[in-house]
Amino acid sequence: MGKHVVVIGGGTAGMEAAGQLAKEGFEVSLVEKEEETGGHIKDWYKLFPDRRNSSEIRDYLEKKVTSKSIRIMTGTYIEKFHSYRDGFSLFTQDGTELKADAVVVATGFDLFKSEKKEEYGYGIYDNVITSADLEAMFRKGKISMSDGMTPKTVGFVHCVGSRDEKAGNFYCSKLCCVTAVKQAIEVREHLPESKVFSFYMDMRMGGAYYEELYREAQEVWGINFIRGKVSEASESINNKIVIKVEDTLAGRPLKMELDMLVLMAGMEMSEGGNRIAALSGLKKGENRFFAPLDHHFANNLSNVKGVFFAGTCTAPMNITETISHARSAVSEVINYFNNTNS
């Protein structure tokens, strides 16, 4: 066939899509703004719910894009995006033109910037960290406070930047609950003496084996789950994080001192995605992610013919869903060429 498809974004969705496209015989350019492919998966330690090492997924994806028909362009981003009747012309920052017969947008998500939830004091109080910061600590194999000491009490705050009008996001990021459970278990694994608390509004364990992980967290690891959204954090004279929350099941306010507070940052449309949206005229939804033509049966199609969406640029998804979504994007690309050829 020899058709050329540009895939924008070299994370899970982009790599999976590129690999599948190559398998189907397309010429593929995989454009990634970072110096390395892999996206967020590079930053994770172990994956939920089975807690396999994230490097296994990364290895799988790396193998997927070894085909000769995939040209990987890291450190590259798109500066111009022109649509023509019979294809697209994209220009990278150094003026290189990429002519494409179709484009797959796989620009992924950004983590919510937790400093925007001012009341939690991220970036102000030393031992308020994000789920991503904790993941980095796991990868280093050492969980420590700013003074190098080991925390004895750790709290997790769910829904940071999700389900929150004040943060500008009405939606649920869907994966933070299970991530919090996973990380809570891992804290207990690393620090068996520690006490771990999880402050949630609803435990949204809607994936295969998620609820089981939650149960394990209670049964095996003794994680304390307290139903209430943390209202504020502050710092005591002893450098402890003082939190205020309502224990809604007891119907009373609760005050607690913690050594470390972990903010479960939600998922947002990525900056890269926003840039592409501005260049290309691709539509965004009210949640600011890209808006597929139809959420039920055209979830990979966009308002621009020949441009397809793959992965979390359309909504929060886990890795399984991202990979499936990338594959279905490829099947839509195939349909597209079949229809335009005939």
Partner 1 sequence: MDKFGFAISKGRQIDWEANNRKVADFIRENEPSFKLCIACGGCTATCTAGKFTEFSLRELNILIHRGENTKPMNDLKKCMLCGKCTLVCPRGVNTRNVVFSARKAFQIFGDDAF
Partner 2 sequence: MKLEGKKAIWSEYQKEIADDRFFYVRSCVRQNFFPGSETTFLKIMRKELMKDIYEHPCHTTCTGIGYHGDIVPVETAMTVVARQFSLMTEAGYENLLPSCITSFGLYTEILDTWHHFPEVEEKIRKQLRKATGREFIKPKNLAHASDVIYKFRKEISAKAKFRLINKNTGEPLKVVDHIGCHYAKMFPSKGIGGAEYPYVLAGMVEEWGGKVIDYPERRHCCGFGFRQYLVQANRGFSIACSKEKFESMKPFKPDMIITNCPGCPMFLDRWQYVINEMEGKRYGQNGESIPVFTYEEVAGLVLGYNPWDLGLQMHQTDCEPVLDKMGIEYDPDEKYNTSIPDEKVKIPGLVNV
Partner 3 sequence: MENYLELLKQDIRFEEGLNACMNCGVCTAICPAAEFYNYDPRKIIDLVQSGDNNEIEKLLKSEEIWYCGECMSCKTRCPRGNAPGLVIMALRGLSQELGFFVESEKGRQQLAVKRTVGQWILDHGYCLYLEGVGTDLHPEQGPVWDWIQDNYREVFHRLGANYQGEGPGILRKIPVEAMEEIRKIFEVTGGNRRYEKIEYYSKKKAEEMNMKLDEGIDNEYFRYIYKTNNGSHTK
- Which of 119, 189, 212, 271 touches partner 2 by CB under 8 A? 119
Distance of CA 237 to the CA centre of its chain: 36
Euclidean distance between CA atoms 54 and 48, whole angstroms: 10
Q: Which is nearer to partner 2, 85 or 255 (CB)?
A: 255
CA distances (Å), origin 176, targets 44, 61, 76, 316: 13, 23, 30, 10
Euclidean distance between CA atoms 174 and 315, whole angstroms: 10
Which among 64-72, 130-138, 160-168, 280-288 is the span making contact with partner 3, rule CB under 8 A? 160-168
**Tokens standing for 281?**
């005229």
Contact by Cβ (8 Å): 324, 315? no
Q: Could you tell me the smallest distance in angstroms from the CB atom of residue 256 to partner 3?
A: 11
Q: Which is nearer to partner 3, 79 or 247 (CB)?
A: 247
**Tokens standing for 81?**
């995006």
Contact by Cβ (8 Å): 143, 151? yes
**Tokens standing for 57?**
């997924």
Q: Is 246 in the site for partner 3 (CB under 8 A)?
A: yes
Euclidean distance between CA atoms 39 and 11, whole angstroms: 4
Which residues sit opposite 71 in a β-bridge? 29
- Which of 95, 141, 148, 251 touches partner 3 by CB under 8 A? 251
Concatenated DSSP letters of 83-127: EETTEEEEEETT--EEEESEEEE---EEE--GGGSGGG-TTTSTT
- Which of 11, 49, 151, 228 touches partner 3 by CB under 8 A? 228
Binding-residue pattern over the window 99 to 138 for partner 3, x denoting contact by CB under 8 A: --------------------x-------------------
Task: Name the residue type at position 146.
Answer: S
Of 39, 33, 37, which Cα lies nearest the Cα of 92?
A: 33
Which among 112-120, 148-156, 296-304, 323-331 is the span making contact with partner 2, rule CB under 8 A? 112-120
Euclidean distance between CA atoms 308 and 102, whole angstroms: 8
Distance of CA 266 to the CA centre of its chain: 8
Binding residues for partner 1, per CB under 8 A?
203, 215, 218-219, 222, 224-225, 227, 247, 249-250, 252-257
Q: Which is nearer to partner 2, 101 or 268 (CB)?
A: 268
- Which of 232, 253, 271, 298 touches partner 2 by CB under 8 A? 232
Q: Which is nearer to partner 1, 141 or 251 (CB)?
A: 251
Q: Is 229 in the site for partner 3 (CB under 8 A)?
A: yes
Q: Which is nearer to partner 1, 217 or 264 (CB)?
A: 217
Q: Which is nearer to partner 2, 36 or 232 (CB)?
A: 232
- Which of 36, 59, 97, 126 touches partner 2 by CB under 8 A? 126
Q: How far apart are the first and last CA of the chain?
A: 13
Residue 25: which of partner 3, partner 2, partner 1, none does it interact with, CB under 5 to 8 A by kind?
none
Binding-residue pattern over the window 38 to 77 for partner 3, x denoting contact by CB under 8 A: ----------------------------------------
